[in-house]
């Protein structure tokens, strides 16, 4: 605007060259004013241009900050989605009957408390000080179970270089065993043990490898209590020190709640309840459990935490003892609990027969296991211990191996 005024004034001055001296003096004054206005205009324009540049730079920098912030947020969202809780479809399970069904689906007991479970209770299986650094006593003696009487066997190496043990010389069975070994080798140090309950034949892959027991130890511990002659009607009070996170429903009960020993064993097996296990550990201790293990010729010391290390062969010895305990009142009670576990996406999902089992899970690849008594026409034991780093939905190894072991048992049964 100021520039336009200056231009008009200058134009008028050029048209009036014939005027008087006073007129020229007046024009000279106007010319000076015009010059001053022009100078001010140039200055203001320069300032405005500079301010405009600064504003533009600020907006660019600010936009850059927002974009960076947005990238960071998106990155967090991606990380969180990897760990987010997935919905759990309980339609795979049946809760209509307390009695075990021979269907492939898992069974829930029909009480209201039993239906209060959530995915969190299942997948956070061992958040009770369960890392190897915190819970595993390096001085624990872990040795093969001498009392577990296997037939004399030999080793076989597959074309892929995987070595397994067996006492079977049947060509078709050996082929299936080789497939089991090769399949297991794909899954981060997975180990597999199979035997019929009469121990006529066995298959072992990685049977001397050391694993965290995870919650599989709860089944042998329950056996120890039941065989000790404990009063199952004894009432124990849940104190604050007993409450543990992770699997189970008792953590949601009020401190001061009372449960019988029998009820706690049920929770410990069906729900893999860490709080129930803590209460039973405090009441019955670990020294008696060591004596029970010795009765099976297993040199085993259980620390106060209740968790330790094991070989799959040792756990097979415990599992066979549980099978042989069936037929007694307490043995039948234990088998019933193991047939009604609230999580059955591993071996039970892979086979066509009723299963009594106990699973264990620790995050970060520290342990994901299942050990089962499979009630086929020729009953057998199947144990799969892995270090799979995933969630309880990462069951491909159990499904693949479980189907192969079922085929192996069928083949060997026909040779009896």
Least confident of 41-50, 206-215, 265-274: 41-50
The answer to whether 168 touches 176, Cβ cutoff 8 Å, is: no
The answer on 182 and 50 residing in a single domain is no
Same domain for 61 and 155: no
CA distance 66 to 52: 21
Domain termination residue (choose one: 24, 56, 82): 82
Q: 265 and 200, same structural domain?
A: yes
Task: Give Cα 38 to chain centroid, integer Å.
Answer: 77
Lowest mean pLDDT among 144-148, 164-168, 310-314: 144-148
pTM over 0.85: no
pLDDT category at 402 given cuts 50, 70, 90 is very high
Q: Are residues 101 and 75 in the same domain?
A: no
Query: pLDDT-derived band of residue 246, with 50, 70 and 90 as boundaries?
Result: confident
Look at the alpha carbons of 300, 304, 307, 309 in this order and tell me if their dihedral is positive or negative: negative
CA distance 330 to 333: 5
Count other Cβ atoms within 10 Å, centred on residue 390: 16
If asked whether residues 249 and 297 sit together in one domain, one would say yes
Number of domain units in the chain: 2
- pLDDT, one tens digit per residue, over 320-378 is 999 999 999 999 999 999 999 999 999 999 999 999 999 999 988 899 999 999 999 99
* Within-domain flag for 203: yes
Q: Judge if 106 and 31 occupy the same domain.
A: no
Domain membership of residue 46 as a residue range: 2-82
Determine the pLDDT at residue 12. Answer: 54
| CA–CA distance, 402 with 380 (Å, rounded to integer) | 12
Are 203 and 300 within one domain?
Answer: yes
Instruction: Record the tokens describing residue 412, joined without a space.
Output: 């060997």
- Is residue 155 within 8 A of residue 163, CB to CB? The reply is yes
pLDDT in tens, 1-16: 554 555 555 555 445 4
Q: Is residue 388 part of a domain?
A: yes
Q: Is residue 87 part of a domain?
A: no
Q: Is residue 286 domain-shared with residue 342, that is, in the same domain?
A: yes
Which single residue is written with the structure tokens 């121990």? Answer: 199
Of 82, 104, 124, which marks where a domain is finished? 82
Q: Are 15 and 153 found together in one domain?
A: no
Tell me what pLDDT residue 125 has: 45
The domain spanning residue 219 has which CATH number? 3.40.710.10
CA distance 56 to 50: 10
Domain check: are 168 and 276 in the same one? yes
Say if residues 321 and 335 touch (Cβ distance below 8 Å): no
Do residues 198 and 281 both lie within one domain? Answer: yes
The reply to whether 236 and 340 lie within a common domain is: yes
Inside any domain, residue 167 = yes
């Amino acid at each position: 605007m100021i520039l336009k005024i200056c231009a008009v004034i200058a134009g008028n001055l050029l048209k009036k060259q014939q005027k008087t001296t006073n007129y020229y003096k007046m024009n000279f004054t106007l010319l000076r004013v015009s010059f001053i206005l022009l100078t001010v205009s140039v200055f203001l324009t320069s300032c405005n241009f500079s301010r405009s540049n600064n504003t533009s730079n600020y907006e660019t920098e600010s936009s850059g900050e927002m974009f960076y912030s947005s990238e960071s947020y998106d990155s967090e969202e991606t990380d969180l989605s990897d760990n987010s809780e997935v919905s759990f479809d309980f339609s795979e399970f049946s809760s209509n009957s307390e009695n075990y069904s021979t269907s492939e689906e898992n069974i829930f007991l029909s009480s209201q408390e039993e239906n209060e479970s959530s995915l969190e209770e299942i997948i956070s299986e061992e958040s009770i000080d369960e890392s190897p650094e915190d819970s595993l006593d390096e001085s624990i003696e872990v040795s093969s179970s001498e009392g577990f009487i296997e037939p004399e066997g030999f080793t076989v190496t597959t074309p892929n270089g995987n070595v397994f043990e067996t006492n079977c010389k049947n060509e078709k069975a050996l082929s299936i065993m080789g497939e089991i070994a090769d399949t297991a080798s794909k899954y981060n140090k997975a180990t597999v043990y199979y035997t019929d309950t009469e121990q006529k034949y066995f298959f072992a892959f990685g049977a001397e490898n050391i694993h965290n027991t995870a919650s599989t130890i709860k089944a042998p511990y329950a056996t120890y209590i039941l065989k000790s002659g404990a009063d199952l009607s004894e009432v124990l009070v849940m104190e604050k020190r007993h409450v543990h996170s992770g699997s189970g429903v008792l953590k949601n009960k009020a401190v001061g709640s009372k449960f019988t020993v029998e009820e706690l064993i049920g929770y410990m097996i069906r729900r893999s309840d860490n709080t129930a296990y803590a209460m039973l550990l405090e009441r019955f201790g670990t020294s008696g459990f060591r004596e029970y293990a010795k009765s099976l010729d297993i040199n085993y010391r259980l620390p106060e935490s209740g968790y330790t290390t094991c070989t799959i062969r040792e756990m097979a010895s415990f599992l066979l003892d549980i099978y042989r305990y069936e037929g007694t009142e307490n043995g039948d009670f234990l088998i019933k609990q193991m047939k009604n576990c609230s999580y059955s996406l591993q071996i039970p999902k892979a086979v066509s027969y009723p299963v009594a089992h106990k699973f264990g899970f620790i995050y970060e690849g520290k342990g994901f296991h299942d050990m089962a008594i499979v009630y086929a026409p020729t009953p057998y034991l199947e144990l799969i211990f892995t270090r799979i780093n995933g969630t309880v939905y990462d069951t491909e190894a159990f499904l693949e191996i479980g189907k192969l072991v079922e085929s192996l048992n069928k083949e060997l049964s026909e040779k009896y």
